[in-house]
Homo-oligomer: A and B are copies of this chain.
Amino acid sequence: MDIAEFVKLSFGKWRSQRSAHNLAFSHFEQVISTIDIVPLSSEDPAVIALCESYKIEPKLAIHPFRMSWEGESDWEEGEIIKGTTILVPISDPNDPKKGQLLRDQGYAETIPSVGNYHFNEEGCFILITPYDRAMAEERIWFGTPNLRFRVSLIKTSAGTGVVTASFASEIRCLDKE
């Protein structure tokens, strides 16, 4: 598994079922959402701008994409959570199993972020993103080509304590729209 194959497998519409565990208080949160992952051109002005903001050559971008989500949490009944972000993978020229992921809106904090990813021997994508006051560790892997799992940990910025752990099961929507 490399980043090109991983991103291509991720393109499409997904129905996501996510559970978050607040570890200090044993609280649960349940989120049902729809996630759209669509390819972007390397020449897309937003992709170029994001690369330039990190002083990275836009031509090093591999399968940049847009991820949009819309869903509902049991913590805020009736309220729709939605958002969109651009993600740009930059593969390490010396190691196809690792690289950087630029993001115009972060997961733990809604500011641009850059994370380091690698693939383990099983093809699991592992992304570590440092933020100002937190650190996110995400693992995403495919159970089948139409089933994706994601474990996300929000850690203290030193990376020692885990504040929130969440798990998402994402099923590809195969129905035509």
Contact = CB atoms under 8 A, between A and B. Distances in A.
Within the oligomer, what is the number of copies of this chain?
2
A7 interface: no
B153 A143 contact: yes
A32 B153 CA distance: 19
Interface in A1-49: 15, 17, 19, 21, 23, 26, 28, 30, 32
A149 B165 CA distance: 9
B149 A151 contact: yes
B28 A30 contact: yes
Interface string A133-177: 000000000011001010101000000111001010101000000
B151 A167 contact: yes
The 5 closest A-B pairs by CB, nearest first: A167-B167, A19-B19, A21-B169, A165-B169, A17-B21
Interface residues of A, number: 25
B171 A23 contact: yes
A121 interface: yes
A120 interface: yes
A95 interface: no
A57 interface: no
Contacts of A28: 17, 19, 30
A122 interface: yes
Contact of A144 (B15, B162, B171): B162
Contacts of A161: 144
Contacts of A162: 143-144, 147, 169
Nearest to A27: B17
Contacts of A143: 153, 162, 165
Contacts of A30: 19, 28, 30
